[in-house]
Amino acid sequence: MRKPVILAAALAFGTLGLAACGETAEQPAAEAPEGVAGMTVTDARLVLPAVAGNPAAVYFELAYDGDRSFALSRVDVEGAESAEFHEYGEWSGKMQMMPMLPLPVKKGDKVSFAPGGKHVMAMKLSPEVKEGGTVEVTLTVSGGDKHSFPAEVRAAGSER
């Protein structure tokens, strides 16, 4: 007889616990601020490749006036299967394009991602990425913060 009383009490307390959960107002999840505080990106553009299937190039101007130094460690381009930071460097007496190491950025820095220098290569573009549209570019910095911005899609051979 003692066992059914204990089970009934446990069931009653369990039901009260569930009822109490329903009375508590749900708190919205705290959202992290969007972007990297102090970072601004201007003149962003993706230039389509002259030959379909080749990578596209993304160029932009980055300025940083925040208080915490970081390194640019990853880039993603909407509509591209993959993307990488690239730059030019000398190897065996020849200038050539190569993947860029993480780029340190500190307060007051201005970095140009421009033809002939640092840039983003966007590989295996979707056929839906067309001249006149825009794509979202997302920079990831050390620590995992992200900064996204739109880039105008331009035709191959247009002003870069």
What is the model's pLDDT at position 32? 44
From the number of C-beta atoms within 10 Å of its C-beta (0-12, 13-18, 19+), residue 49 rates as middle
* Position 96 in a domain: yes
Whether 142 and 73 have beta carbons less than 8 Å apart is answered as yes
| Tens of pLDDT, residues 38-53 | 999 999 999 999 998 9
* Position 8 in a domain: no
State the maximum Cα–Cα separation within the chain, in Å, rounded to a whole number: 92
**Does the pLDDT at position 145 exceed 50?**
yes
* Position 6 in a domain: no
CATH (domain of 140): 2.60.40.1890
Distances (CA, A) of 20 to 17, 24, 47, 51: 5, 7, 57, 64
Residue 114 phi/psi, 5° resolution? -140, 160
Given the structure tokens 């190039």, which residue do they identify? 57
* Position 19 in a domain: no
| Tens of pLDDT, residues 109-132 | 999 999 999 999 999 999 999 999
pTM of the model: 0.77
Give the total number of structural domains in the chain: 1
* Position 125 in a domain: yes
* Position 137 in a domain: yes
CA end-to-end distance (rounded Å), the chain = 85
Q: Alpha helix (H) ranges present in 2-142?
A: 2-23
* Position 56 in a domain: yes
Range of the domain at 81: 39-154
Task: Tell how strand 39-47 and strand 146-154 pair up.
Answer: parallel
